[in-house]
Amino acid sequence: MWSDFKENYFSFDALKFAIDVSRVGFPKNYFEDKSAMLDKAFADMRSLEAGAIANPDENRMVGHYWLRAPQLAPTEALCEEIAKTTEAILSFAADVHSGKVSGTAGVFKNLLCVGIGGSALGPQFVASALGMPGKDKMAVYFLDNTDPDGMDAVFAALEGKLGETLTIVTSKSGSTPEPSNAMIETMARYRAAGLDFARHAVAVTGVGSQLDKKAVEEGFIARFPMWDWVGGRTSEMAAVGLLPAALQGLDIRLLLAGAAAMDCQTRVPAVKENPSALLALAWYYLTAGKGEKDMVILPYKDRLLLFARYLQQLIMESLGKEKDLAGNVVNQGISVYGNKGSTDQHAYVQQLREGVNNFFATFIEVLKDRETASVPVNADGATSGDFLEGFLLGTREALTEKGRASVTLTIESVDAASVGALIALFERAVGFYASFIGINAYHQPGVEAGKKAAASILKIQARMIEFLKACPGEKFTAEALAEKLNLENSVEIVFKLGMHLSASPTTSVTATPQTPAYNTTFFYK
Ligand code: PA5
């Protein structure tokens, strides 16, 4: 094992980062055997970074690497715009912190971030990885859904504080239903508190989008751009992520520098010097290039808890594709889940150790426990942090003993630079892997289809209400109602919508329960 380790442990000291692929079980000469595939991936990445249309389905360039190295952007104008936006974010954050830009009730103390998917997961991850509640310049809250009850919980925490709460509405398209709904609900709360929402609002969105127009019309305090060449899930280092981070008081320059340093290393066209290539190659070998095994993310650090959720989107939304670039049906992807160690050892790690062997683990080891000294917690003088490391190493051994593969990533500490570097590491690994399997990692037709599907369901609901309202008191089963509306193929949807409407205090649609429940009748009161 030690000799395997020496051969497969790659440490990048300037990045304070190491990757250990010794427990992947690469066959002998695997790197050499895959050299043509790797060379193609390096070439694909070079052309992507040079400004090729690397997202052909949307006819777009893919430029998240330029965000931390604007000088690499393909035109002078783009370079200037990136640099100008970062400066504008820093200066806006300074104005908010100093009180030059303030709310109706004075200096902004709270930040409410409205957004979903790529417009929320990065900011949420970075806020919890680097923030210190109580000590941050602003307390950060998120509305990342259209769940009314979830929103109520956030609004309850902000009760009486909206006059000192800055709301950022983030949506690249500017028309995604969830953030749009959450913004409307937020506006209603400000209004109910006698406050002008626009005086407390900022938009991060594509220029000319529905949200952008609204921000202009209503006079939001500021607007920051979201460019079409940055995908939602790779937008942490665009205004999407940098603005909330800077407002929270996090060091966004260091975040960018950490990502830029990792980018430099992951441009090297030699697999053993390129941590993202090593990672992508491990994924390829372990999943047979077909997603045959799930990726379990196990950071042994509370601050990295949300990294698994963040990676779940980055990897699954990028790689989970029906077709390859040539249009063949391939149904690709790698399933990702995870939480944190050692907490997970008291949950699903039982199955990882002894159950179905359908996964590989990615351990994330953080060498530094905390900034201050720790008290001993056992008779040998071991600390809580020693236990955490012990659990990581012990679990890794146990998995290896049972023939379960793992990769280990090591960082020195969780700080802005290492978080930036981790994000950049995985972004590039996703790019390499997409090249290995020949798919477009930068579009999301499934997400777009989901957005449209909800709209057609809501049209059915509107027709149901209109019909019931026209004959108040008259009762209809779902089947009868569907027939009246020529929706015979959607009876189940009519039934489900009827049940939901009648449970809600908002509409006057009422249900008379029947047995069996699917014969329940609905009427307008
Ligand atoms: O990564 C993506 O592209 C998606 O997850 C989007 O971020 C998500 O659908 C939100 O879209 P928008 O920012 O346009 O509201």
176 lines ligand 1 (CB under 6 A): yes
CA 259 to CA 189: how far, in whole Å? 38
Which CATH number goes with the domain that contains 480?
Answer: 1.10.10
Give the ligand 1 atom nearest the CA of 205: 13
206 lines ligand 1 (CB under 6 A): no
Confidence of residue 271 (pLDDT cuts 50, 70, 90): very high
Residue 68 resides in a domain: no
Report the b/e string of 503-514 with b at 16+ CB within 10 A.
eeeebebbbeee
172 lines ligand 1 (CB under 6 A): yes
Name residue 17's beta-bridge partners.
12, 411
118 lines ligand 1 (CB under 6 A): yes
Give the ligand 1 atom nearest the CA of 226: 13
160 lies in the same domain as 125: yes
Give the ligand 1 atom nearest the CA of 117: 5
Domain total in the chain: 3
- Taking CA atoms only, the protein residue closest to ligand 1 atom 7 is 118
State the catalytic residues: 317, 346, 451
| Spacing, Cα 57 to ligand 1 middle (Å) | 16
| Spacing, Cα 14 to ligand 1 middle (Å) | 34
Residue 257 resides in a domain: no
DSSP state string for 201-225: EEEEE-TTSHHHHHHHHHT-SEEEE
Residue 448: pLDDT above 90? no
Residue 455 resides in a domain: yes
CA 344 to CA 82: how far, in whole Å? 40
Would you tell me how many other CB atoms lie within 10 Å of the CB of residue 481? 23
207 lies in the same domain as 282: no
8 lines ligand 1 (CB under 6 A): no
Instruction: Determine which of 310-314, 344-348, 376-380 has the lowest per-residue pLDDT on average.
Output: 344-348
| Spacing, Cα 286 to ligand 1 middle (Å) | 29
Name residue 477's beta-bridge partners.
521
CA 64 to CA 319: how far, in whole Å? 17
Please tell me whether the peptide bond between 244 and the residue prior to it is cis, using omega within 30 degrees of 0.
no
CA 213 to CA 145: how far, in whole Å? 22
pLDDT above 90 as % of the chain: 97
243 lies in the same domain as 268: no
| Spacing, Cα 421 to ligand 1 middle (Å) | 22
Q: What is the pLDDT of residues 43-62, one digit of tens each?
A: 999 999 999 999 999 999 99
Report the b/e string of 258-295 with b at 16+ CB within 10 A.
bbbbbbebbbeeebeebbbbbbbbbbbbbbeeebebbb
292 lies in the same domain as 157: no
3-state secondary structure of 160: coil
The residue from 217, 250, 283 where one domain ends is 250
231 lines ligand 1 (CB under 6 A): yes
DSSP state string for 110-145: EEEEE--GGGTHHHHHHHHHH--TTTSSSEEEEE-S
Which CATH number goes with the domain that contains 196?
Answer: 3.40.50.10490
CA 225 to CA 223: how far, in whole Å? 7
Q: What is the pLDDT of residues 286-308, one digit of tens each?
A: 999 999 999 999 999 999 999 99
How many residues in the chain?
525
Best CA proximity match to 422, nearest among 37, 122, 2: 122
Residue 67 resides in a domain: no
Instruction: Find where tokens 């077909």 sit.
Output: 290
270 lies in the same domain as 217: no
Q: How many CA atoms lie within 13 A of 111 on its CB side?
A: 26
**The two structure tokens encoding residue 286:** 């372990």
What is the 8-class DSSP label of residue 55? B
CA 397 to CA 31: how far, in whole Å? 25
122 lies in the same domain as 161: yes
Q: What is the pLDDT of residues 124-150, one digit of tens each?
A: 999 999 999 999 999 999 999 999 999
246 lies in the same domain as 270: no
**The two structure tokens encoding residue 111:** 């930040």
pLDDT of the residue at 451: 80
Mean pLDDT for 73-102 is 98
398 lies in the same domain as 326: yes
3-state secondary structure of 194: coil
- 456 Cβ partners below 8 Å, 6+ apart? none
**The two structure tokens encoding residue 42:** 């390096």
Instruction: Find where tokens 């980055």 sit.
Output: 314
| Spacing, Cα 229 to ligand 1 middle (Å) | 13
pLDDT of the residue at 450: 84
Residue 248: pLDDT above 90? yes
Number of H helices and number of E strands within the chain? 18, 14
3-state secondary structure of 22: coil
CA 223 to CA 212: how far, in whole Å? 7
Confidence of residue 507 (pLDDT cuts 50, 70, 90): confident
The answer to whether 187 and 207 are in contact (CB under 8 A) is: no
Residue 69 resides in a domain: no
CA 381 to CA 359: how far, in whole Å? 36
216 lies in the same domain as 190: yes
The residue from 418, 437, 456 where one domain ends is 437
Name residue 366's beta-bridge partners.
411
Confidence of residue 313 (pLDDT cuts 50, 70, 90): very high
Confidence of residue 169 (pLDDT cuts 50, 70, 90): very high
Would you tell me how many other CB atoms lie within 10 Å of the CB of residue 131? 19
- Helix then strand then coil, % of the chain, to nearest 5: 55, 15, 35
Residue 189 resides in a domain: yes
449 lies in the same domain as 428: no
Residue 503: pLDDT above 90? yes
Confidence of residue 1 (pLDDT cuts 50, 70, 90): confident
What is the biggest distance separating any 2 CA atoms in the chain, rounded to whole angstroms? 80
Q: What is the pLDDT of residues 183-202, one digit of tens each?
A: 999 999 999 999 999 999 99
168 lies in the same domain as 123: yes
Mean pLDDT for 317-342 is 97
Mean pLDDT for 395-417 is 97
Residue 240 resides in a domain: yes
The residue from 437, 472, 504 where one domain ends is 437
CA 80 to CA 70: how far, in whole Å? 8
3-state secondary structure of 179: helix
**pTM assigned to the model:** 0.96
Its domain, for residue 520, covers 445-524
Residue 90 resides in a domain: yes
119 lies in the same domain as 199: yes
